[in-house]
Structure 1
Amino acid sequence: MKRTLQLLICIVLITSCSKTDINNDHGFYYWRSKLNLTKNEQQALNNSKVPNLYTRFFDVVKEDNQFLEVGVISIDNDLSINKKIVPVIFITNETWFNIQPNEIELLANKVNDHINKIKANNKIDLASEIQIDSDWTTSTRNDYFKFLTTLKKVSKKNVTCTLRLHQIKDKLQTGIPPVEKMYLMCYATSSPLVNQVQNSILDVKTLKLYLKNLDEYPVKLDVALPIYSWGIVTNHVGKKKLINALTAEELLQNKNFRKIDEHHFEVLKDDFYFGMYLNKGFKIKVEEIPEKDILESMTFINEKLDYKPLLIYYHLDERFTKNYNTLFQ
């Protein structure tokens, strides 16, 4: 009887230790060109506790000294969601090169006007927040920071921005943006276009090295973690290209691909696949994110911070959300 009781205690302990309950409220980014949710995506969104859907509205690029909005989102006329929408604007770092003070104000007004135009044309409910995504550097930080301050002034909204791993690691060089809250992007831990064993989307060991001094960052953070995947194609001479949103399941269901091991496949027939022409013999490495890596990453971050950050998954797409049911319960 005593031995049986000890065995039961051990089983309970092992089970409780193997399941990490991070308990962070979660929400989603939306990063497709048209805002149109499937039934499963609608359900995943409705079940989330964060009151916002972080939605990419458009990108800003600079061509011939002109600021251009590209990839502007279209919105389904029948869209009905129980969340407010936070417009997310991606601005290339090149936009800040040699920008003049009057151009910073011009760009801030241009971005704000275009957000309001999308809102008016689609009658959507926007949150009182605008999020800016830009991979600023030491040389562009001052102009970028002025833009954030100017946009807040002209929009009369709370302006937030994203924070990449290298920007938190090298905060003395890259500077601290003048915002009240930022979104820490816990992915792209390495380049997918170089030869490596690690997962380039998220390698937990690398993430922890970047974030070892996370508790010293002076701005409140929420956290973005990846649930997307991609394929890294290598041709016969070692050149690499990406196929976004590719999954191992898709390759396993296609007889023109041979599984080499858990993450690697070989093309068996010349043809167009996933919008790209692939030759026989090309290799594909599929990078997907195990649920355990998300749990370990958030456990580490929670231990570093003295508050519970929101967890915003990148991004809302049923091809990915169906693989993480336990995270979204």
Structure 2
Amino acid sequence: MKWCLFLIVFALLLSCKQNSRQIEPAVYYWKSQFNPGSFEKSKLDSLQIQTLYIKFFDIAWNGATSQALPVAKLYARDTAYLRSKKIIPTVFITNEVFYKLDSAGVKTLAKNTGTLIQKYIALYRLNKVPEVQMDCDWTASTRHKYFYFLKEIKAQLKAPVLSATIRLHQVKYTTSSGVPPVDRGLLMCYNMGNLQKEQTANSIIDPEEFGKYQSSIQSYPLSLDVGLPLFDWYVLFRDHHYAGLLSAVPAEVLQTFRKEGAQVYKLLRDTLVSDRALKAGDILRYENSDVESLNKMVMQLNKKLTTKNLRVALYHCDSTILSKYNLHDLENFYSGLRRY
């Protein structure tokens, strides 16, 4: 009897081990000035986060000079804290860059980008750099140039791992989007709805919309890490046309709006928000990354991801954002992907 019980317990333990993932918690730091406050550090410590995706710079097309130039470059004030973490340098590149450049220009861009990344690694004396990540929402018409850029920068950097961010539409439509020539991908599990459509409920996260991509995730040929959203914003519409984004609206200003729906507000009189002139009749749609939707999406991901050693990165590290989530919920976003 004891022997049978031992076999049952052993089988259960073996099953649990075989059906569990190694989760590496991570977070994106997307500000140009690296100077996390005590609240942010405390949150990262509580979540046992040792891996930071740090945006080193953006690359955008400069129409005045007809060049692809680095902008929003990193300035690290707290270098001691930066050096204490595992750092993954990340570079965001606008898709316009690859529309504008020819093959020779792309090759030069890869060389210059690699040189600047290495400059920052040396400047801040970063010893723990196991990976470099490129972030670009490429399209069918720019894929060949972008993929050429990735091959060139891989050779230029000689990085142990080169990764690229992958949007949901790029996972689903691999025939037109292609698969980037990198070692790993990071699936961006946000911005999945039509932001500019007035009828959209929440373009940041929508579990029903996300469900349409599940089978594609399972069959994607790259090992995928995961990025989960923690941000919110207000989408502005004027005369039923998309008119931009507002990162925040003060409570006293929101009182000048009339609530039209669950997260929809109509402005009653002209006002200013962050020095931006809004007009009576303008519509604001509040969108956020709510806990319920995130938990649903984590459950959906858990069924389809095949990656055994999974890095899960929250986007992004900011005291205002992090204060909207309790520690238990943040821990669950990681632990929810541990068992499958």
Structure 1 residue aligned with 2:117, among 115, 120, 131? Answer: 115
Question: Residue 193 in 1 paired to residue 192 in 2?
Answer: no
Change (3 A) 1:142 1:283: closer
Aligned-partner SS, 2:235: strand
Question: Residue 229 in 1 paired to residue 229 in 2?
Answer: no
One-letter identity of the residue aligned with 1:318 = S
Aligned-partner SS, 2:81: coil
C-alpha contact 2:214 2:300 (8 A) present in aligned 1: no
What are the within-5 Å matches in structure 2 for residues 153-232 of structure 1? 153-157=155-159, 158-232=161-235
- The CA distance in 1 between the partners of 2:22 and 2:258, in whole Å, is 40
1:216-246 deviation line (CA, Å, top 9, x unaligned): 11110011111100101223x2233333432
C-alpha contact 1:119 1:126 (8 A) present in aligned 2: no
Q: Which residue of 2 aligns with 1:285?
A: 285
Q: Which residue of 2 aligns with 1:68?
A: 69
What TM-score, normalized by structure 2, do the two folds share? 0.81
C-alpha contact 1:33 1:73 (8 A) present in aligned 2: yes
1:124: how far off? 4.2
Q: Which residue of 1 aligns with 2:107?
A: 105
Aligned-partner SS, 1:37: coil
C-alpha contact 1:77 1:122 (8 A) present in aligned 2: no
1:56-92 deviation line (CA, Å, top 9, x unaligned): 1111123344221111122214652542221111112
Q: Which residue of 2 aligns with 1:147?
A: 149
- The CA distance in 1 between the partners of 2:271 and 2:188, in whole Å, is 36
Aligned-partner SS, 1:200: coil
Instruction: Show structure 2 runs of 5+ residues with no match.
Output: 1-20, 332-340
Q: Which residue of 1 aligns with 2:50?
A: 51
- The CA distance in 2 between the partners of 1:275 and 1:98, in whole Å, is 33
C-alpha contact 2:223 2:307 (8 A) present in aligned 1: no
**How many residues in Structure 1 have an aligned counterpart in Structure 2?**
305
One-letter identity of the residue aligned with 2:30 = W
C-alpha contact 1:25 1:49 (8 A) present in aligned 2: no
- The CA distance in 1 between the partners of 2:215 and 2:172, in whole Å, is 8
1:252: how far off? 6.4
C-alpha contact 1:27 1:48 (8 A) present in aligned 2: no
Change (3 A) 1:156 1:278: same
Aligned-partner SS, 2:110: helix
Q: Which residue of 2 aligns with 1:42?
A: 41
C-alpha contact 1:50 1:310 (8 A) present in aligned 2: no
1:316: how far off? 0.9
Instruction: Show structure 1 runs of 5+ residues with no match.
Output: 1-21
One-letter identity of the residue aligned with 1:136 = W
Aligned-partner SS, 2:70: strand
- The CA distance in 1 between the partners of 2:143 and 2:86, in whole Å, is 30
One-letter identity of the residue aligned with 1:66 = Q
- The CA distance in 1 between the partners of 2:66 and 2:270, in whole Å, is 42
C-alpha contact 2:187 2:225 (8 A) present in aligned 1: yes
1:262: how far off? 3.3
Q: Which residue of 2 aligns with 1:15?
A: none
Structure 1 residue aligned with 2:89, among 81, 87, 90? Answer: 87
Of residues 209-218 and 238-247 in structure 1, the stretch that sits farther from structure 2 once superposed is 238-247
Q: Which residue of 2 aligns with 1:33?
A: 32
Q: Which residue of 1 aligns with 2:315?
A: 314
What are the within-5 Å matches in structure 2 for residues 262-273 of structure 1? 262-273=262-273
1:259: how far off? 4.0
1:111-166 deviation line (CA, Å, top 9, x unaligned): 11112222333444551211001111222222211211111111110211010111
Aligned-partner SS, 1:212: helix
1:24-73 deviation line (CA, Å, top 9, x unaligned): 54321111221111211111222334532111111112334422111112
Q: Which residue of 2 aligns with 1:238?
A: 240
- The CA distance in 2 between the partners of 1:86 and 1:62, in whole Å, is 24
- The CA distance in 2 between the partners of 1:252 and 1:258, in whole Å, is 13
1:270: how far off? 2.6
Question: Residue 298 in 1 paired to residue 298 in 2?
Answer: yes
- The CA distance in 1 between the partners of 2:210 and 2:122, in whole Å, is 40
1:251-307 deviation line (CA, Å, top 9, x unaligned): 368544444443123334433213411123422111112111111111111111233
- The CA distance in 2 between the partners of 1:111 and 1:283, in whole Å, is 40
Of residues 138-147 and 292-301 in structure 1, the stretch that sits farther from structure 2 once superposed is 138-147
